[in-house]
Amino acid sequence: MTRFLRYFRNSICHLERWVDRPWAVPLLAAFALLDLFFLVIPTEGILISAVLLRPKRWIGICLWIVTGSALGALLLAGAFQYFGPEIMHHWLPFIFHSEAWARSEQTIYEYGAPALAVIALSPLPQQPAVAIAALARVPVLSIFVMVWFGRLAKYALFAWLASHSPKILLGGRWPRWVPLAAGWRELQDLEKAKKELE
């Protein structure tokens, strides 16, 4: 069991060092951008994991990932406006017959661009909504802004919960075995100092 805990702690330390690198959070934002095109990147999971590693940086991490997601929507909308529906038939042929497409189409036609913010906030996939808005000739900048605000509300809530829930769940106390909250590096330094004194 101690071998597993040591491995777990070392893995967390490695991830913490990785998140501290200046290019790490922009890379996570690039994954959020790519999620609009590949549909399988767990953006919420990436956000929550990064915030759990660095709870004090939850606002910056959230803003980077929100911006990456909105830039992905901007690029996707630009592609649909430039190439038309043909790219959709080639890239995602199944999407025209999906329930998400029908819901998004109805919502966009009823409420216009602000509906994108609501869809970005909801658990519905935003790709069909962005495609419908682009094909309806909603300005690309409006699509970017609406997706940005919708994702901001959703991801800010997720990031805040991720940064505060461990402490709340543990009654305001961080046990020694929680490396994310206790500052595992500080604990390692203390253990090294203790060994040196012996």
Contact present, 155 and 65 (Cβ < 8 Å): yes
Instruction: Report d(CA 71, CA 56) in Å as an integer.
Output: 25
How distant, in Å, are the alpha carbons of 69, 87, 163 from that of 152?
Answer: 10, 28, 16
Tell me what pLDDT residue 198 has: 66
Most confident of 41-45, 64-68, 163-167, 194-198: 64-68
Tell me what pLDDT residue 181 has: 43
Q: What's the mean pLDDT when you consider all of the chain?
A: 82
What confidence tens digit (pLDDT) does each residue in 96-146 have?
777 777 877 888 888 888 989 998 998 888 888 898 899 888 999 999 999
What pLDDT band is residue 182 in, cutting at 50, 70 and 90? very low
Give exposure, 121-142, as e/b (b: 16+ Cβ within 10 Å). Answer: beebbbbbbbbbbbbeebebee
Tell me what pLDDT residue 189 has: 64
Tell me what pLDDT residue 129 has: 87
Structure tokens belonging to residue 129: 């909504």
**Is residue 176's pLDDT more than 70?**
no
What confidence tens digit (pLDDT) does each residue in 146-157 have?
999 999 999 999
Tell me what pLDDT residue 41 has: 86
**Is residue 179's pLDDT more than 70?**
no
Stated pTM of the model: 0.76
Burial of 37 (0-12, 13-18, 19+ CB in 10 A): middle
Radius of gyration in angstroms for the set of CA atoms belonging to the chain, rounded to a whole number: 21
* Phi, psi torsion values for 171, nearest 5 degrees: 70, 30
Tell me what pLDDT residue 131 has: 86
What long-range pairs does 83-89 form, CB within 8 A, spacing at least 24? 84/135, 85/135, 88/131, 88/135
Tell me what pLDDT residue 128 has: 83
Q: Where are the alpha helices (DSSP H) in 84-125?
A: 85-91, 99-111, 114-121
**Closest to 147 (Cα-Cα) out of 114, 102, 101:** 114
**Is residue 191's pLDDT more than 70?**
no
Q: What percent of the chain has pLDDT over 70?
A: 84
The residue with greater pLDDT, 29 or 109, is 29
